[in-house]
Chain A
Amino acid sequence: MKMYLSNIFTNPEMQDKYMDILVSSFLPLVKGAFYYTIPLTLITFAIGLVLAVLTALMRLSNVKAFQWIARSYVSIIRGTPLLVQLFIIFFGLPSIGVTINPFYSAIIGFSLNMGAYNSEIIRAAILSIPKGQWEASHSIGMTNFQALKRVVLPQATRVSIPPLSNSFIGLIKDTSLASTITYTEMFRKSQEIAANNYEFLLVYSEAAFIYWVICVGLSFIQDRVENRLDQYVAK
């Protein structure tokens, strides 16, 4: 470590070399982020959100069978490691004749995961809307569905933004696990680069930095959205 640091600070030749590595790997990494990591994140988050709302509504419904399906789904997904789920989908399913390419395997794995975790967020958000909002909706003649759609869900959306942002940021980082099922997103790109030049510390740190910049950007957007919608929730 001493040598590494002294090289960085005193050896102009080595400084140039490190700089070259950082610069030359930057574009492939950013490309990995924009072409693979971010699209994978957005697609799985969107599918996951639909699954999450459906699961939350099933949990909250009066139909026992729906409740049971939703509970089992959430329990299985939350109770097993994401990495193991990805391996089952990509490496396991082919033994029963179901072969799915890395991209779709990742989409399925991450979407199922998001659906399960976010359903709890959405369920809690729906339950947090005061009972009076349902009653007021009913009093003007709305059905349960109308009250949900027009009054409760819009407010629950606002309530769920902070925890959903949390899970979105978590998802961006978790997509690095897709590297293990041969999906070439940003982290796998960095592994390939480092495998060539052996500068593991430098290249992985650079990848980490890019993840961090993306997440900081997202937190910034989250704050603005939250502030804008803050007033529209019954307290």
Chain B
Amino acid sequence: MITVKGLNKSFGDLHVLKNINMNVDRGEVVVVIGPSGSGKTTLLRSLNILETPEQGEITIGDQSIDFSKPVKKKQVVEFRKQTGMVFQNHNLFPHFTALENVMEGPVTVQKISKAKARERAADILTKVGLGEKLDSYPHQLSGGQQQRVGIARALATGVEVILFDEPTSALDPELVGDVLDVMKELADEGMTMVVVTHEMSFAEEVADRVIFMDQGAVVEEGPPEQIFQHTQEPRTQQFLNRIRK
């Protein structure tokens, strides 16, 4: 589903992605962990071309972008349509209700009729447990509810891949559970997911594969048991010891 080859990205002198290679199969849940500044968020944002790497190639579905050549705007817009993204601070549209937030992609991008889009958006919001909040504006919702609207918005265009950028990091602890439950449900339904998170229990429980990144490079990857129980990598061990304290 997703193939990343030789991805390199720098911010000025800072080399944040160093020759990243990665593969995500259809229906797979891949969790990316690592200390802050390890490049995991930049990697995720690159998958949606919110960052433009200088080198390397990303393939999602049947579309490919080679970053060593100039990339056309149109190509980027088409490429992005295959993935949904959930942001750390949700980035909901504050001037739209929950329902309108979810309808926006189908109506504006996919040109689906408003009536149909409304129906589908209501279904998706009900599925993430917000059937009662369709007409609420983002500022009237709790952080956890806002993030679930964010997930619904990402799902609305019928994408096959969803990218999660620390979806629970900005939430109060008691609200994290609701969001993780929705994510687990999606995983069970076979959604392809790439998740950057600090929720290690989620990674252990839900991930098919865990990627550990440090200083812009993939240090180790494998099934959760391998990373969390039997890692041979000192840097992974060090990171896990620090967050388990």
- Using a CB–CB cutoff of 8 Å, the interface residues on chain A facing chain B are 130, 132-133, 135-136, 138-144, 146, 150-151, 154-155, 158, 231-235
Contacts and interface: CB of A to CB of B under 8 A. Distances in A.
A154 B93 CA distance: 10
B77 A140 contact: no
A141 B95 contact: no
Interface stretch (B22-30, B84-92, B114-122, B233-241): B84-92
Contact of B108 (A130, A142, A233, A235): A142
Interface centre among A133, A231, A234, A235 (most CB of B within 10 A): A234
Contact of A154 (B49, B87, B95, B156): B95
A155 B93 CA distance: 9
B94 interface: yes
**From B49, B50, B94, B105, residue with most partner A Cβ within 10 Å:** B94
Contact of B89 (A132, A139, A144, A233): A132
Given A132-B89, A146-B108, A138 B80 contact: yes
Interface in B41-64: 48-50
Interface of B: 48-50, 73, 77, 80-81, 83-85, 87, 89, 91-95, 104-105, 108-110, 137, 139, 153-154, 156-157
B139 to A, nearest CB: 5
B87 A140 contact: no
Contacts, number: 72
Given A139-B85, A146-B108, 20 more contacts: A132-B91, A133-B91, A133-B93, A135-B87, A136-B93, A139-B48, A139-B50, A140-B84, A140-B109, A140-B153, A141-B80, A142-B108, A146-B109, A154-B95, A155-B95, A231-B94, A233-B94, A233-B95, A234-B91, A234-B93
Closest 3 CB pairs of A and B: A232-B95, A140-B105, A136-B91
A140 B154 contact: yes
Contacts of B73: 143-144
Given A139-B50, A140-B109, A141-B157, A232 B87 contact: no
